[in-house]
Amino acid sequence: LGSIITQSFVGPMSDAGYFHILFWIALMLSVTPFYPTLVGWIPEKKRTKNEPGMAKLCSGCLFDKGSFQEKKVPFLVITACGLAAPIMAAVTTYASLGIGLAVSAVLLVAFTVATYFIFPPTFFKVFLAIILTYCSNVSIGSGLSYFYTADAACLPDGPHFDYTYYITITGVVGSVVNFFGVILYQYFLSGWRFRSALIFTIVIGALAPMIDLIIVMRWNVKIGIPDKVFFLLGNAIFENLVGILQSIPFSSIFAKIAPPGMESAVFAYTVGIANFCGMVSNLLGSGVIKWSGMTTVGDDCNFDALPNLIVIFSILIPTLVGIPATFLIPNVLQTENMIDWEKEQWYVSQRDGEEPLSEEDVENNNADDDRDGGDSRIESHLL
């Protein structure tokens, strides 16, 4: 609903040139979560300074020193991950695109090595699969946006979409499609194993850019289908449907690989590294567009390289990298445990002075989990 409301005015205001007003609206909306957080709308247990290991930093601010000391290394790595995006943004802004990509590569390698030594092997494999999958989706969306919205002086034979159509109409349709996409996934794909679901979504995801390729090559016009009709039926509906179908299994994976006692921190780590990889793919896409010789603005635009970029970076690479990466993920049902944290004994023996569990205890606990229907921390339904 929020997406529909926002997109309903962004397109017309962009056509009118009110970009500064849109900036201030976006800024105000970005700070709205602070109020419900501060007043306690989120149903969380309030910590007190009398709890063991809690230290008071200032008025209204407590620090769980005990948990931090027990799991210092993971917390430091997770904190560093949160700083990766600002570092990349600063380097790209004040240095150059190439240096930004180099720094991003170093950061990804550093987090991968740290994860290998800190977390269990299964977690590391899933983590590596996330990096490979998200980084392989090199985004050339900025080039496509310029192609779709270029005026007649820039691209005489282009679609010439205005922002009201390109952002508002297709955006509202896409939001509605996302809603039905969640329902379709629940009823048809939620019972599949993770690998099967991911491979299926990667394959159909490779078909979605064909819509852009057909429009860029002007094949739809040659067979008598107007750009707006083909884009609405193809890009706004099919590509949005594919996008939501691809995001759901990974959202479930992010939750399932979070260990007990560090759910929020590790969930933030995996989601954060996925978002960082998305930023890297956008940065790499900008570099690819720049280095391909495309001219996206002015009176003499050149989009000759765009079809090749679509085929290579939107179809071939995501498929050739993404499908093999799925084999790093345990081939379990989406309602089953992905990592047996009790068997891994990851930080369990240090928590509250507990003794490490014996193999017999682990097997008994696993049997209890099986009788209870799998992972008790994750609901069996996605909706």
**pLDDT per residue as tens, the chain (383 positions):** 777 787 787 888 888 887 888 888 888 888 888 888 777 787 777 777 777 777 777 776 777 777 777 788 888 888 888 888 888 888 888 888 889 899 999 999 999 999 999 999 999 999 999 999 999 999 888 889 999 999 888 888 899 999 898 888 888 888 889 889 999 999 999 999 999 999 999 999 888 899 999 999 999 999 999 999 999 887 788 888 888 998 999 999 999 998 887 888 899 999 999 999 999 999 999 889 988 888 888 778 889 999 999 999 999 999 999 999 999 999 999 988 888 888 877 765 444 444 444 445 544 554 554 444 444 333 333 33
Identify the CA nearest to 302 among candidates 284, 314, 290, 285: 290
Residues 6+ apart with CB under 8 A from 383: 182, 183, 186
b/e string for 147-161 if b means 16 or more Cβ within 10 A? bbbbeeebbeebbbb
Q: For 96-153, how does the pLDDT look when each residue is reduced to its tens digit (9 = 90+)?
A: 888 989 999 999 999 999 999 999 999 999 999 999 999 999 988 888 999 999 988 8
Given CA atoms 346, 350, 353, 358 in this order, what sign does their dihedral have? Answer: positive
- What's the confidence (pLDDT) of residue 347? 66
Question: Does residue 65 contact residue 54 with C-beta atoms inside 8 Å?
Answer: yes
Q: For 3-30, how does the pLDDT look when each residue is reduced to its tens digit (9 = 90+)?
A: 778 778 788 888 888 788 888 888 888 8
Residues 6+ apart with CB under 8 A from 150: 158, 160, 296, 301
Q: Is 50 left (phi over 0), alpha (psi -120 to 50) or beta?
A: alpha
pTM over 0.85? The answer is: no
